[in-house]
Structure 1
Amino acid sequence: MLRLYQSNHLESLAARLATQLAQPAAEPLRQEQVIVQHPGMARWLSLQIASHLGICANLTFPLPAAFIWQLFHTLLPEVPECDRYQPQRLAWRIYCLLEALDGGEIDQSVSNYLAGADDVKGFQLAQQLATLFDRYLIYRPDWIVKWQRRESATEGDSWQASLWRHLVAEDAIHWVSLQLQLGQIGKASFKETLPPRIFIFGVPTLSPGYLEIIRHIASLVDVHLFLLNPCEAHWADIVSPTEQARLALRSREEELYLEVGNPLLATMGRQGRDFFATINEMNPGGEELYQPRQGDLLLHQLQDQILTLSEPQPVTSSDSSISLHRCHSPMREVEVLYDQLLAALDEVPGLTASDILVMASDIDCYAPLIKAHFSSPGSRPKLPFRISGAGLLQGNPLATALLEIVQLAESRYPVGGLLNLLEYPAIRRRFGLDEAGIEQVTRWLTQAAVHWGRDGDSKRSLGLPPDPGNTWREGLWQLVLGYAMPGDAEQLWHRHYPLDAVEGSESQWLGGMLAFCDALFALQDELSISRSPQAWMRLLIGLTEQFFAADEESESLLESVRETIHALVQEMQQGGIQQELAFAPIRYRLQEMFSQAVERGFLGGGVNCCALAPMRSLPFRVIALIGMNDQAFPRQQPELGFDLMGNEFRAGDRSRRADDRYLFLETIISARDRLIISYVGRNQRDNSLLPPSVVVDELRDTLQQMVDESGMQQITFDHPLQPFAQDYFIADSALFSYSEEMREAALWVGRGNRDDLPLVPAPLADTDDEKQIDLQRLLHFFTNPLRGFAENRLNLDINQADQLPEEREQFSIDYFDQMGLEHELVEALLAEQTPEDLYQRLRARGRLPHGKVGEQIFRQMQMRATAMAERVHSLDKGDSLQPLEVDLLFGEQHLVGHLHAVNQGGLLVYSTDRLYPYQMLRHWIRHLLLNALNPPDIKPLTRLLEGERSGQFRPAERAMDHLEILLQRYRQGLHLPLTFFPATAWIYQEKLQQGDEEKARKGAQQRWFGNRFQTGDVEKPYHRLLLPDRPALDETFFATSSEILQPLMEHLEWHG
């Protein structure tokens, strides 16, 4: 007998189920079967039963399909334990079948698609077909019967029917064939297989085929059906306004007798309406357990109007039981949500965090934001939370790492890709690398000019010239040779350049990097071979051992990865797949499985965060829906051109959009005290309005009929772009925040303090660097004083990203790189090295573009370097002397270091193009040191060669005084950012030497702001960081510029 229990409260249904379970069964030792639609429902129901009966034991909670298949498996010996027509198993079968079929046996458009598709696209097509066939089995069993009789079922079905017959030829046991055998099974044997009673709980819909089997089972044993019904009245005949208008076009309105009733029920309840109509046709007995809400809350009155099928009725007042929040971004939604939940905990008596459910339209998007914001430190109260339903990729970095490993092995091995892999601690541990090691390896790879490619052969396989330059093998060879042949960088070894970069114990980092690269390079060949499912499992499990060294915290994460690999291979084997397959569909399906919802942690304590998905209509005191954006919900189901059901709708057919609309309705009736809804309703760039989900609009339309305009203002909130907006901290504002940090930020903004707030508002304390000054550090500081302050005192290097190796080979040479190479060429020519040796060495180092382009660039640099080398040789025929030791005292400051490249003629500085202001300042400091040391038999001159002109720094009689001023500015620049910018200051001082202060300042302003050809100093990153919106070219700047550069200009003279 079929008994139906209906209620608008799931708790009432759970209580009634517990009462039924408490009654002794005919076979007390046999497990009771409670069929549910979702594991989350099973978890909730087991807790409810335990709360009513004191224990929940000897119960199983199968899903409908699993229950019925197991039933047939028990009844019929030929039925396997697993359904090979389950969509994912079937997808593998179809994929293999499509590969084996002749193109003439399938539709021409499909054949053309497969001819131009790779393995992944072929598998995606197989998945779409498997999903369609699964729907045909459930909703079009008559088509399946006709196809197997070689009859046409509908227009354009010939190739799908043929494909289906090929599948049936392999295995004829499927859902429809079992339904056909149902009537042939004797009632006695069938009844012996069944438990004495069966419970079906909280299932929002069942297909006609499932219902027919339930009807048959109910004729043999008691079947208790517990269903959540939003309405106690008969609502099978209500229609939405849209349906009403469409039907009115076909008949006269007075003849239709169409009823809308409650608009939310009419527009969102189609799926439930059709389901309950089908159930009622089965004439079940049963009970009605409806519970009207007697409270005054707006939420309760809305629920009661749905329950009684009433049109929206005006209410006396509005309240906070329903709130709609328009935000600028998903992150702002989460920030608003946190404050709303804290408010609910303050205002709703007896509410705890575990009474709250948060559902997101896209949990993979919102899960990291929830985790970040809910876990962030701060003064506000902390909320415990659990996230379930997010994919493994969201919370398991080892799953992401494994996918990146196999994807990288199928790529060109870009240098950034390999370095990104080494950011995973488990991989670093496996290969003996730490963070310091990674930083050093990155520097080595930059020096070795590694860009991409395993070696020359891998380039040949891509149809490119097999030049090994800039590949991994070449770069690693350079590092190994440099370690084995230190100090021998001038000689190539079999055309390989020995890069002398690895020192001492750093060799262990090089060894780890070599092992890591060898493992990845070998994997490329391994993945190119087709293998059986079992062989792929061994390879993938082996990769987890080869690349990961898990610690105590990550061992469970690694085990989850291995479990997913086992599940993938099991899926293929259960589908009967034994043949060898390429890796591409294996990788694609593995990524899909890593992205699938993981249900662990649901109802595990704290705020429950999960996906907004069908069968999740559980009751909670507070329910929050986030991400309720237009196009995000209800979810769209892509239409397939070969979906034969698309043009032939039948009652009982399911659609994702209808499922989501009914889910929203069930969510409304499942909230007990508060319903919070948020969506991205404003563009965060231009603040323009964005529409919410259509179901939110429909809810808002209903609420507007219940409350007046002032009432709507109490439940509708338009949030600012920033969480520190003033509106959150005004006494009479409807907006609020629990964040003390945001309140303080709002106070700063209120005072007009925004970007002009300095990063360092007060001078920093003294350091040892101010007293014991290293010469190289002093020279580096005056290259860019703001950068020197950030690096020396704040340990900041915001140009670090620029130091990463390039992933693309060069087709030209950057200007500053070219100047550096030309300087190297001049030095080599002065050392009497041949141009051909220089060319081969630069090629081996990967510093030139490949082919003729690189050769042409080298010849151009060679011409300029040769001309400069001749000029240098004519001026400096003596050998360089030993470096001069610098050991000078300036009060408490002690300057130490060595002065290099000194000979009897003094210092010689050259550039094939030009000497920049920061370079001139560095050489000026060196010139002052030479004059301060005043060594015998050495001229106190610094000769300058710039392009085709020459000049010099004359002897400086007050060298110590000038150095003392520079050291004072250095010390000042370690306490606070020094407003001295060499390029701008140079223009100012250069024009000031001409005697016109106004032109000098105007020229400095032009250089400061720059133009379309030249970036101004104002745009330099360290200025924006340390001196935001501060007028840098003030009197202090001009005074400092003159103090530093005027002596330089007075001693500088040019010729020609």
Structure 2
Amino acid sequence: MLRLYQSNRLEILSLRLSTLLAEPMISPLEEEVLVVQHPGMARWLSLEIAEKLGICANIRFPMPASFVWEVFRAFLPDVSEFNRFEPSLLRWRIFQLLDEIGQEPVFAPVSHYLRKESEKRRFQLADRLAGLFDRYLVYRPDWIRKWDKGESAVAGDEWQAEIWRRLAVDDAVHWVHLQESLFQAMSGDAANPPRGLPARLFLFGVPTLSPGYLEIIRQLSHWMDIHLFLLNPCEAHWLEIMPEGEKVRRELMSSDIEDLYLEVGNPLLASLGRQGRDFFSAINDFDPGSEEWFDDAGGDGCLAGLQREILHLEQPETIEGERDHSVAFHRCHSPMREIEVLYDQLLAMFEEMPDLTPADILVMTPDIDTYAPLIEARFSEPGDCPAIPYRISDRTQGLENPYVTAFLDLLSVPASRYGVDEVLRLLEFPAIQQRFGLDEAGLERIVDWIEQAVIRWGRDAESKLEFDLPADPRNTWRFGLEQLVLGYAMSPNDEALWQGIPLPESAEGSESVWLSGLLGFCRFLFELEDRLSGMVSVAIWCDRLQRMLDRFFAADENAEQPLQLVRDTLVRLGEEAEEAGFQGQVSLSLIRQQLELLFSHGSSRGFLGGGVNFCAFTPMRSLPFKVICLIGMNDGAFPREPPTLDFDLMAKQFRFGDRSRRADDRYLFLETLISARERLYISYVGRSLKDNSALPPSVLVEELRDYMASQVGESGLDRMTFTHPLQPFSPNYFQPEGHLFSYSSRMQEAAQLVGRGEKQRQPLVAAPLPKMEPVTDSVDLHLLRRFYSAGPARAFAAQRLNLRLETARDIPDARETFEMEKFTAEAVERELVERLLSGESAESFYQLLDLRGELPHGKPGRRHYQQLCGSAQLMVERLNAGAFGEEMPPLDVDLILDGLRLSGRLNGLRSTGLLEYSAGKIYPHQRLDLWIRFLALNLIRPEGVAWEAIWLSPDEEGRFIAPENPETHLQQLVAFYRQGLLTPLHFYAGTSWSYAEKWRATEDRPAALYQARKRWFNDPPAHGSKPHHRLLMPGEEMLDEAFHEISLAVFLPLMDHMELVE
């Protein structure tokens, strides 16, 4: 018996289903079978059944295809457990067949796919053909029968028919043959059903089934009771209605008088309901017994009116009244703004509807992968707004599981250049760090070592041959790692070169654990190229990749579940190839492609798990919720239009009952309209970020808006349409009489500032911090100098906030040196001067730099170095001329300044005093550093050393004149230092120098500020762009009254005691 149950509400259907389930079967242990088309529907039904019956147990929820295969196996015992014509298996069979096909004339239309070197293209063709053949089996069985007989079914089918026939020769047990055998077996005695069939069957909420599936269900109804529960949007007979446009075309093209009486009925139902109309027509052909429970939506709002008009097949009626909140359209400038607006709108709904809970809300989007991170960003950080619990489902597994990303990245490395960025990105993954005994601190140190060893790309010298480059070891991983190992093993006093290998700074003490971890990781990584090369079977690939997981990922409780997903996917890939009988050999590239495909499937985990439900807007998600929100309903995003294939024979000959993605989406939209109980919320990107121009929504949203306009008029439609500003802190959100609103007090404060034309921000450190513990009365001279030379903001961030932004891990450049940057060249030239002064030759230093890979390769590097040698030699000659005396050992400093002890060591001493030289220009922070040491020297006044300070550069020579009160100046600098450890000091040497220099010359504050702004904002490198400045004193915050006072207090005394030597 086949029984049809219809309603416009799933809750009513689920209640009737529960009533039937409560009727006991002969055996209390008999399993119930409830066929659904989506795991989300199964989850919802299980909750509904449990609520109504107290428990949901011993119920299985198969999908239609898997259940039909169970029917085949029950009636036909010889049928295997799996269907070798399932697309996931069929594609492997077709791929193997394509590999065996020669240059036969019949395959000329796809000859470009069949070339031996086109492995990827051949599999793409195989995958698409598998999908097409699966549809042909279900929707075009007559074609399959003709192909099996060697006949042509449709024009242009020759090459597809030939591929099919070769597949059928290998295995003729496919859907069409099985269906014929099944119907023959079903003609037997229904009183003796075969084992494996359930006593009764329920199909729930299935929006469509192919004609072949329907016929099997009809035949099966002679053997058991089948209960078919369908969501029907309309209680009237609506199977002959059609959209207005189609009606007009039919009337214009037909002379049949009957066509003059074609009906539209309800415009939305006629436009959106084609798929359901065809399905109900097919069901009615079986003349099943039917029970109907249609429920008229209560209320007088727009949503209730729309649902009522669809239910009764009525034209839209005019609705009078004030603003109606049941249907709302929200135009935004970006997906992020959609989520921000949604958050505020949900908070408003909770206020307006006291019985509304987060679990009563469903939010769907056609593009869940784009919106998921935006949802997490807003909903996981509510700020000053109430928190809203939420769950996200249907995300692509590869995006949801970071282990998948790391695993796929590992598979990409053997085919890469081994760029330092690619390798370090892998090492940033915590499970890989843990596997090799590393942590964040160790990784920071490894980045330093890589810079020291100048590693850029390439496994070793030989690997460069693959890129048509000489086998040069410089900048490669193996050469760099050898340097690090030797640097660790050799004494710090050893030569810079050992047997032609440079010795960079390497691990010391306990850091050897990190070096060992780096070496172990790189060894495994380099071995991958051999392990993952060549062409082998899918089974061998899966085994190798399972072993790779063990080698690279630490196995702990946090990694167990996400790693198991990767392992299960590998097992699944191997089983697919095995069950398909695929014995060919493939490359890693193809394996990675298939894994990406398997990982791209969404997971329903978390659906209906509590909180607001975010999920993909996909068919079979027509579940009832008090509030349904559709976000991302942009033009072109929905309904989806999958690309058509030139060789899709079905697309050229459409038949009644054929499914299309576009028709599925249109019917899904209709089901959503009737499933929202109290609110329907729709948002889309309706304004351009570039010029604020209007952007259209999805065509389905436009149809709905047109329908609503016929209900409430254009003015009413305007009242239910909200166009949101670009920014969440727009003053429009906080107008007393406005219809826009926000729950964020922070955004309100920002809006008030915008309204007053002010641009302010709450400083990160609003008040001075307490003194550092332990409180001490001593100051280290080295820290004092570093405070001013590196920048007070950097020192404050590091010492008080534990933020070392200057060492934030910037991935080193993955390219070898082609041209030296200015500051790098100056550092190299200074080191060259020091080596020349110590007696080392310029050529030996060149060899060291060349081996390190710090110079451009070849002749360009030699020319650049010769230029550096010229200016460095001039500096050495000036230093050796004798005018600056001989070098002196460092001098201990121990001074008491206003009750504080200043201690440390003075370096850079000569008999003539302090000497600071630079291969480039003398920068302000270098002058200030020399000034600090000069003041300390004048307070110590040692014997045998002149109490002077001299600076020297290629373009300038100068000295400081001894001040009368060095203690006062040094005390001031120490005071600013201590102040700068309590609150960010508005001082930076380069910017403050520009300000003080202009002020000293003109006493014109606007002119001085102009110079400071140039250095802070514009002149490269802009000082204000440094990360610690952006964090602690962004924009104009730095250039205030405190900046004016501190800059002058620091630099005016220094400038007053400067003297240039002609």
Structures share a fold, TM > 0.5?
yes
- TM-fit CA distance, 1:224: 2.5
Is 1:216 the counterpart of 2:219 in the alignment?
Answer: yes
Aligned to 1:432: 437
- TM-fit CA distance, 1:204: 0.5
1:233–1:803: structure 2 CA closer, same or farther, 3 Å change rule? closer
1:212–1:688: structure 2 CA closer, same or farther, 3 Å change rule? same
CA contact (8 A) 1:787 1:1022 kept: yes
- The worse-fitting range, judged by mean Cα deviation, of 657-666 and 767-776 is 767-776
Aligned to 2:701: 696
2:669 and 2:543 map into 1 onto residues whose CA distance is: 44
Aligned to 1:304: 308
2:20 and 2:970 map into 1 onto residues whose CA distance is: 95
Is 1:533 the counterpart of 2:534 in the alignment?
Answer: no
1:841–1:607: structure 2 CA closer, same or farther, 3 Å change rule? same
RMSD over aligned CA atoms reads 2.8
Report matched runs for 1:340-351 at 5 Å: 340-348=345-353, 350-351=355-356
- TM-fit CA distance, 1:1033: 5.7
Q: 3-state DSSP class of the match of 1:646?
A: helix
Is 1:482 the counterpart of 2:483 in the alignment?
Answer: no
Deviations 1:986-1020 (CA, angstroms, capped at 9, x unpaired): 44555667x6545x964762463269875555666
1:63 and 1:182 map into 2 onto residues whose CA distance is: 19
1:751–1:888: structure 2 CA closer, same or farther, 3 Å change rule? farther
1:1026–1:462: structure 2 CA closer, same or farther, 3 Å change rule? same
Which of 640, 644, 649 is equivalent to 1:644? Answer: 649
Deviations 1:339-373 (CA, angstroms, capped at 9, x unpaired): 33333334335333333222222222222333343
Report matched runs for 1:273-292 at 5 Å: 273-292=277-296
1:379 and 1:1038 map into 2 onto residues whose CA distance is: 36
User: Percent identity between the aligned chains?
Assistant: 51
1:251 and 1:445 map into 2 onto residues whose CA distance is: 79
Aligned to 1:60: 60
Deviations 1:43-94 (CA, angstroms, capped at 9, x unpaired): 2223333344444344322211111112212322432111111112212222
CA contact (8 A) 1:621 1:672 kept: yes
Report matched runs for 1:185-196 at 5 Å: 185=185, 187-188=187-188, 192-193=193-194, 194-196=197-199
Gaps of 5+ in 2: none
- TM-fit CA distance, 1:827: 0.9
1:225 and 1:991 map into 2 onto residues whose CA distance is: 87
Is 1:668 the counterpart of 2:668 in the alignment?
Answer: no
Aligned to 1:91: 91
CA contact (8 A) 1:1009 1:1018 kept: no
2:740 and 2:171 map into 1 onto residues whose CA distance is: 63
2:922 and 2:67 map into 1 onto residues whose CA distance is: 82
1:109 and 1:928 map into 2 onto residues whose CA distance is: 87
Report matched runs for 1:334-345 at 5 Å: 334-345=339-350
- TM-fit CA distance, 1:582: 1.4
1:573 and 1:291 map into 2 onto residues whose CA distance is: 52
- The worse-fitting range, judged by mean Cα deviation, of 647-656 and 729-738 is 729-738
CA contact (8 A) 1:197 1:221 kept: yes
Aligned to 1:454: 459
2:702 and 2:17 map into 1 onto residues whose CA distance is: 36
CA contact (8 A) 1:779 1:925 kept: yes
Letter in 1 for 2:592: R
1:382–1:944: structure 2 CA closer, same or farther, 3 Å change rule? closer
1:1042–1:875: structure 2 CA closer, same or farther, 3 Å change rule? farther
Aligned to 1:157: 157
Letter in 2 for 1:83: N
1:882 and 1:374 map into 2 onto residues whose CA distance is: 62
CA contact (8 A) 1:333 1:626 kept: yes
Is 1:576 the counterpart of 2:577 in the alignment?
Answer: no
Which of 679, 683, 704 is equivalent to 2:684? Answer: 679
- The worse-fitting range, judged by mean Cα deviation, of 941-950 and 447-456 is 941-950
Is 1:199 the counterpart of 2:202 in the alignment?
Answer: yes
Deviations 1:848-884 (CA, angstroms, capped at 9, x unpaired): 1222222222222122222222221223686532211
CA contact (8 A) 1:1009 1:1019 kept: no
CA contact (8 A) 1:756 1:1029 kept: no
Aligned to 1:960: 967
CA contact (8 A) 1:489 1:499 kept: no
1:121–1:112: structure 2 CA closer, same or farther, 3 Å change rule? closer
CA contact (8 A) 1:1008 1:1016 kept: no
Aligned to 2:1049: 1043
2:794 and 2:630 map into 1 onto residues whose CA distance is: 47
Which of 895, 907, 913 is equivalent to 1:888? Answer: 895
Aligned to 1:782: 788
Aligned to 1:812: 819
Is 1:230 the counterpart of 2:233 in the alignment?
Answer: yes
- TM-fit CA distance, 1:716: 2.1
Which of 888, 902, 907 is equivalent to 2:909? Answer: 902
Report matched runs for 1:130-529 at 5 Å: 130-185=130-185, 187-188=187-188, 192-193=193-194, 194-251=197-254, 255-317=259-321, 318-348=323-353, 350-376=355-381, 378-488=383-493, 490-529=495-534
2:402 and 2:251 map into 1 onto residues whose CA distance is: 57
Deviations 1:522-563 (CA, angstroms, capped at 9, x unpaired): 112211133323222222222222222243333222222222
Q: 3-state DSSP class of the match of 1:651?
A: coil
2:143 and 2:829 map into 1 onto residues whose CA distance is: 78
- The worse-fitting range, judged by mean Cα deviation, of 370-379 and 411-420 is 370-379
- TM-fit CA distance, 1:271: 0.8
Letter in 2 for 1:414: G
CA contact (8 A) 1:488 1:498 kept: no
- The worse-fitting range, judged by mean Cα deviation, of 579-588 and 1021-1030 is 1021-1030
CA contact (8 A) 2:892 2:906 kept: yes
Aligned to 2:927: 920
Report matched runs for 1:844-855 at 5 Å: 844-855=851-862
Letter in 1 for 2:813: E
Report matched runs for 1:572-971 at 5 Å: 572-746=577-751, 749=754, 753-755=758-760, 757-767=762-772, 771-783=777-789, 784-800=791-807, 803-875=810-882, 880-971=887-978
Letter in 1 for 2:278: D
Aligned to 2:2: 2
- TM-fit CA distance, 1:229: 0.9
2:316 and 2:983 map into 1 onto residues whose CA distance is: 66
CA contact (8 A) 1:941 1:954 kept: yes
- TM-fit CA distance, 1:826: 1.0
2:1038 and 2:560 map into 1 onto residues whose CA distance is: 54
2:11 and 2:1040 map into 1 onto residues whose CA distance is: 73
1:1032–1:341: structure 2 CA closer, same or farther, 3 Å change rule? closer
* Structure-1-length-normalised TM-score: 0.94
- TM-fit CA distance, 1:1023: 4.8
CA contact (8 A) 1:457 1:466 kept: yes
CA contact (8 A) 2:444 2:809 kept: no
- TM-fit CA distance, 1:817: 0.2
Q: 3-state DSSP class of the match of 1:952?
A: strand
CA contact (8 A) 1:367 1:394 kept: no
* Structure-2-length-normalised TM-score: 0.93
- The worse-fitting range, judged by mean Cα deviation, of 420-429 and 430-439 is 420-429
CA contact (8 A) 1:1008 1:1017 kept: no
1:245–1:836: structure 2 CA closer, same or farther, 3 Å change rule? farther
Q: 3-state DSSP class of the match of 1:350?
A: coil
1:458 and 1:807 map into 2 onto residues whose CA distance is: 15
Which of 978, 982, 1006 is equivalent to 2:989? Answer: 982
- TM-fit CA distance, 1:1039: 5.0
Q: 3-state DSSP class of the match of 2:704?
A: helix
Q: 3-state DSSP class of the match of 1:3?
A: strand
- TM-fit CA distance, 1:816: 0.5
Is 1:124 the counterpart of 2:124 in the alignment?
Answer: yes
Deviations 1:137-156 (CA, angstroms, capped at 9, x unpaired): 11122222222222222222
